Amino acid sequence: MVVKTNTNAVLNMNANDHYEVGEVVVAGHICLDIIPRFPAGERSLQEMFIPGTLIQVEEPTVSLGGVVSNTGLALHNIGVKVHLIGKVGADIFGSMVRELLSERHPALSENIITSGDTHTSYTIVINPPRQDRIFLHAPGANNTFSAADLFQALTGLTQAREAAGGRVRHLHFGYPPIMAGMYADGGRELVTLFSQAKEQGLSTSLDMAMPDPDSAAGKADWRAILQKTLPFVDVFLPSAEEMLLMLHPALYAEVAAKEQKAASAERAAGKKPGSFASFLDAEIVGRLGAELIAMGAKVVGLKLGDQGFYLRTGESGQEIWAHRELWTPCFAVQVAGATGAGDATVAGFLAAYLEGRPPEAAMEWAVAVGACSVEAIDATSGIPRREVIEERLAGNWARLPIQANLEGWRPAAGRFGGRFWVGPADSHSC
């Protein structure tokens, strides 16, 4: 069995090594990922998964999953002082979660909550060669995670950090669509969590996850939930695909049908299928951004997979952040695995945003850390210290093309030329 850990210098960081942006809490969904390795071959999933048969696999990879580990450890690798709050069961999987976190740094497991009333969440990732992945996910303890859980842990953490001369500044929370307590009763618990965070003086950010459309999460009224939650969210960082499903399910189905039709033809021709985001045009993405700002989010960043990162902002006390609409493409890298790339993208954005960098820098950090992530098979071991990322950004790092129709957009001028596209809602002249 391969248990994924990071072997670079971040394992030996001490408190004085951390990138000074204030201290960040990453809370929410955490699980154990179990990834069987399939032998090389060309059999399809339909040919392999036949009732009554035994499928021989090879050594598995066991790693951490969920926003707490993926975004939290990505921030840790970069050098941000981060605290992790999640919930596991009093079982062997829970012990493994704690052990894997402690291997990265002993302090990272200190605020993980253990419950004897439920089991640890786990995901079995079925990923045969040249096949789309299938996830078998058990939410477990994540379903019972509550605002009370968070603030009980946060109160003790805040007191300890203040006594040590530190300060918790920001709360990042992730994956309410796969945490039943967060979308039940019209999202009341999620609203409580974010409103209390703001009352405590924290800046906030929120990431989402793709719900099963046929599950209770998929049938929840996410438009109503977001309308109540986003006024308490400073930075909202979902994927465009998630938002299209939640806000415009009919349009999502239309785009998904186009993607599936094209994917069938490309596979038949021996080509790699295009991503969902490659079937989105700027009009759809811009509409999503405008809706989310209107719901109350201060900053909206939409992850677009291999199509890059879209930014939309509303009013801001900082002129450089006010009324912006930008799109930046991904950096070109050799892809080893896409697991956790979106979470790494979020970590890159937050690291730059919380330091007070301008929007363009935060966006480049987002796609840079996302690119580093996909150079490794797991979510975070490919992410280096911030100095290495800075060096890569300062070099001639090639970009991937944006396939979306950008009618009405213009390429950025000057030092941003070739790196950004400027949308019709942008109030600046970069």
Each residue of 356-398: pLDDT tens digit? Answer: 999 999 999 999 999 999 999 888 999 999 999 999 999 999 9
| Average pLDDT, rounded, for the chain | 91
| Residue listed under structure tokens 């009919």 | 250
Q: So what's the pLDDT on residue 4?
A: 43
Burial of 382 (0-12, 13-18, 19+ CB in 10 A): buried
Of residues 19 and 238, the one with the higher pLDDT is: 238
For tokens 């790339």, name the residue. 341
How are beta strands 19-28 and 421-422 bridged, if at all?
Answer: unpaired
What residue ranges do the domains of the chain occupy?
A: 235-296+298-430
More confident residue, 270 or 379: 379
In terms of pLDDT, which residue wins out, 40 or 244? 244
Evaluate whether 420 touches 360 at the Cβ level (below 8 Å): yes
Cα end-to-end span (Å), the chain: 51
Residue 9: pLDDT band (50, 70, 90) is very low
Quote the pTM value. Answer: 0.91
Give per-residue pLDDT as tens, 160-198. Answer: 898 888 899 999 999 999 999 999 999 999 999 999 999
Cα separation, 298 vs 292, whole angstroms:
9
Among residues 41, 27, 418, which one has the least CA distance to residue 197?
27
18-22, 62-66, 189-193: least confident range: 18-22
